[in-house]
Structure 1
Amino acid sequence: MQNIQHPMFALSLIFSFILVTHAFLYFISSLFSNSNYWFYFLAQECILFISAFILPNGSPTVLIGLLPVLIAQSIIILKNKLKVILFFMLSYGLYCIAITINYGASELPIFIPIFFLILLIVIVYTISYNRQVSARERMEFYLQQLELAYQKVEELTLSNERQRMARDLHDTLAQGLAGLIMQLEAVNVHIKNGNISRSNEIIVSSMQQARETLKDARTVIDNLRTETLEYMDFHSAVLDEIKKFEEITGIDVEQEIKPIHSLSNLSMEYGIYIIRESLTNIMKHSQARKVKIKIEQKDGKIYMEVSDNGIGFSIKNIGKQTGKFGLLGLQERIRLVGGGLTIESMPGKGTKLFITVPI
């Protein structure tokens, strides 16, 4: 504004260059290390002090507008009350010197209150902003730690499940094969002694034990498929279970399976178990000729419906007939993931399972 009546193009150009340098130093302030910050703040102070004398009539605007901002930045960066106070005293001293030289000491009672008012406003805002930033950083840190902890728990859960299944597989095969070896050794002894009748009895018993061992081993191996779930999506895993069911039973499964997104490994493992157990129950007990599976994702949950046109049963008998339909184990798995199970069935009317699993 002072250029209107008394143009000072050279000084205005120098003044503009100095303020651009001042802004540029703000832009690169993060590049200064902790030991070099005093150099940064002193350089900024010198720039403002010099600019106040290049265009003296504009010094109040420059100093009152920019010194409080620089002091506020020192609060955030220096994080030390004594250092901040020393920097404030230096800034305040330079401000008083510049006003005294340009306007006289008699004007200080006017400019000092204005300076402190602006400084108070900027400092209050800075402290409030700094607290919000610190709170946000702490929240982000806690969220990261919580996510890592959740992932660790999920990994440990899957690992423990695999180890348990591996132990079951080891015990099943070891015990079954040990029994078969003992029976075969007995058969060998009886054959050498000419006791063919007893040998045939043991062979028949061995064949039955071999079938049971194979059945148990297949069950455990199917459970160990959890290891491969990390490399396939939920949709493909469900289709694989349906295909196995169709191959064994010869029953075509009517399916309506929509894509499922953002499913954790733990939820995927339990979801596959639920489908597998439902189909196994149908195969063992329902005598059905028609099966339908419907799966969809909605409101952060997976909704599964498994129905058949089999012989059905009375839901009052759930838990009273040991082992029937395996629904108790199914209910337990669903409960562990915070899901829900609703059963609709009547003798001769088929069965419907309505299952929800949180994603």
Structure 2
Amino acid sequence: MTEHRDLKRLVRERMARTGESYSTARRHVTARQPQRSAHRESALVARLLSDAGQLAPHTGEPFTEAMVCGLAGGIGFLYAVFEYKGLPPLVTLVAQHHPDPWAPAALRRAGVAFTEAHSGSPAPATTALRRDLDAGRTVLCTIARGRLPWHPDDPFDADPYPVLVTAGTGDDIMVDDGTGTPRTLPLETFVTAWSAHRKGRHHRLVVTGERTGDPAVRDAIATTVAHLTGPVLGNAFDVNFGLSGLERFASQLRDERTKTGWARRFADPDALAAGLRRVHDCVERELTAPGATRPLYAEFLDEAATIVDLPPAAADAYREAGDRWHRLASAALTASHMRETALSRLADLADDVLAAERTAAGVIAEV
């Protein structure tokens, strides 16, 4: 009830400020993101575009989550295992395109102008945020996730976490955390979360409402292919990216001899259980859409085919890859209960994924 009263107050204040009808003002304050949110960051950018009145030129409708995802680079792969004293090895798989910042990449290729800024201290950042909100603009901000009151605080969670600030009045703001339903939050609490992400330095991004061109679908696909099949950072860590990283993942699952193989690295049953849970979560929900983002990328390719010529098999190839990722993730959930065969079985499934990924990358490389 409190959130409902706050929402009505924000709507009426916007009506007084802009002269809009109640329904129009409410739409701006609580503008809904796409109905199904498979990928959190893409859904946020889709709503950011919608709030700014930006429509996809090829449909005349709001940008879909799938199109935003594909324009940002869509898919990728990163495999790494981090080891800290006194803790079990931490498995990290990143199945979405990485490491380009998601929103700027998507907006540039969408052909939409935006401004991006940082501030070293909270005061000027808060002033700029209030100015944008007073002008009716939705602002994308990068924060520390664990400082939001509805998330657990994790000292090891240093990943940037974007949210949308959709409206504000007095000492409160409305924050969309990717659910499509903004929550009322004290501005002071938000600024604490904003300041806690030190690398972000009060990062904020606003769509200016100007168009710079049409969606750069070919450039997006070319970047995806390049980072799946070739260097990403230009240094020795590149072995962990793309198809090379996926091959490394499968090889280490099967390795029973060296210290980097899973048999030795995860010899402790609890460590193995934690590692396998991470595999599942990284394929289905952490920094990804379900199925390692491949099903959503297939939707992007379906839509992109209405803009540029694409091989007919492109989307189907990534649907198949997504199915194989689902099978691997499902097997990882139960694998710790049958250790003797678990790693070999997972290695076989990873090889199946690798084969599908090579085929799919070869298809879109023709674009």
State the TM-score bracket (shorter-chain normalisation): under 0.3
Of Structure 1 and Structure 2, the greater helix share is in 1
Larger RCO, structures 1/2 (Cα 8 Å, 6+ apart): 2
Greater Cα radius of gyration, structure 1 or 2: 1
The normalised TM-score by structure 1 is 0.18
The normalised TM-score by structure 2 is 0.18
